Amino acid sequence: MAEKGETGSSKPTLTAAEKQLYRSRQELNYMKQQAARIRSRNLMTGLAIGAFVVGMSTPSCPSNRREL
């Protein structure tokens, strides 16, 4: 039979150093996820700007044709 002093949790309590390490690992994982999201957004923005520039500089575009 369980003693009165026992609690139902099987997890040991963390020390201050362990809590700090756990928190820093959580922050690192969060930053990695955010960096991946920003990297993909920057890639899409760069491709869109590149497509716009190529489209504007294409000589077959009617607005870029010059009559001599």
pTM for the structure as a whole: 0.51
**Distance between CA 35 and CA 38 in Å, rounded?**
5
Which pair of tokens denotes residue 8? 């139902």
Domain ranges of the chain: 16-56
Q: What is the CA radius of gyration of the chain?
A: 29
Q: What is the pLDDT of residues 5-51, one digit of tens each?
A: 555 567 778 899 999 999 999 999 999 999 999 999 999 999 999 99
